[in-house]
Amino acid sequence: MSQSEGAADPFGELAASYDREFTNSLIGSTMRRAVWNRFPFHFAPGQRILELNCGTGEDAVYLARQGVSVFATDVSRAMIEIAAAKAKQHGLEDMIRYECMGWDNLDNLPTSEFDGAFSNFGGLNCVEHVDVALGALARCLHPGTHVLLCVMGPWCPWEWIWYLLHGDPARAFRRFRSSVEWHGIHVSYPSLRTMRRWSMPHFTILRVSAIGVFVPPSYAEAWALRHRKLIHFLDRCERRLEAVPPLPSFADHYLIELRRSG
């Protein structure tokens, strides 16, 4: 979740139901575990990590339980309030600091402040000038530290098939547009090739994997609940093949793993 701090808070309307509808859903929890599987390769106990678009704080709680200190940010005050309450519930207030801010506030943070960073589930899609934002992010990190970005890509066959079967071609191919406006927020779906180009001045790409290429997107939750065994099977297949091209390019999200250059 991201965008200008001065803008309205459309994500605030989603905050109260976000955990119920995504975090704790079958599809949402399956996709989040796939991202968490990669955390140990990049973040270690004792490190201080920057999280952008923290939402309701599920990822920050997970990392804090592993001994990782998290500076968790989100442009939505409603999301931050829920995330902070969740940290308190788990007794992790000393491990997680929260601040209401977006990507366009990164220049206000100290240089080389963090040991790594991540942004999960499409937060970067809500940033208008991603190349500029990545440069600002790089400035906040120690050279050699790692970044994980989970980005919604432009080509999602699940989405084409799902919405065509439901008689909604406009939504089936919505990601084909270069950008859309949603409640005043600029939303784009950069291809993996574009993300590589934007990242390369500041980062080295270590790995790219598919998040939701066999497992369907979250709007198929009702169908998924009727086919739990199939979802678990699809997830196992996806985890084995997640980094095999061209699967990341055709997933609901792709997870790009970076190392800060310099």
CB 26 within 8 A of CB 207: no
Measured on CA atoms in the order 242, 259, 188, 5, is the torsion positive or negative? positive
Mean pLDDT across the chain? 95
Name the DSSP letter for residue 39: G
Q: Per-residue pLDDT tens for 231-243?
A: 999 999 999 999 9
The stretch 140-168 carries a mean pLDDT of: 98
Structure tokens at 141: 């990190």
Parallel, antiparallel or unpaired: strands 253-260 and 114-119: unpaired
Beta strands in 177-218 (DSSP E): 179-182, 185-188, 203-211
Confidence of residue 181 (pLDDT cuts 50, 70, 90): confident
Distance, in Å, from the CA atom of 196 to the CA atom of 247, rounded to the nearest integer, reads: 16
Whole-model pTM over 0.85: yes
How buried is residue 181: exposed, middle or buried, by Cβ count under 10 Å (0-12/13-18/19+)? exposed
How many C-beta atoms lie closer than 10 Å to residue 140's C-beta? 20
Q: Per-residue pLDDT tens for 11-30?
A: 888 899 999 999 999 999 99
- The SS3 assignment for 137 reads helix
Name the DSSP letter for residue 57: S
CB 134 within 8 A of CB 199: yes
CB 9 within 8 A of CB 78: yes
CB 100 within 8 A of CB 6: no
pLDDT of res. 262: 84
Confidence of residue 162 (pLDDT cuts 50, 70, 90): very high
Angle, nearest 10°, between helix axes 228-241 and 26-36? 20
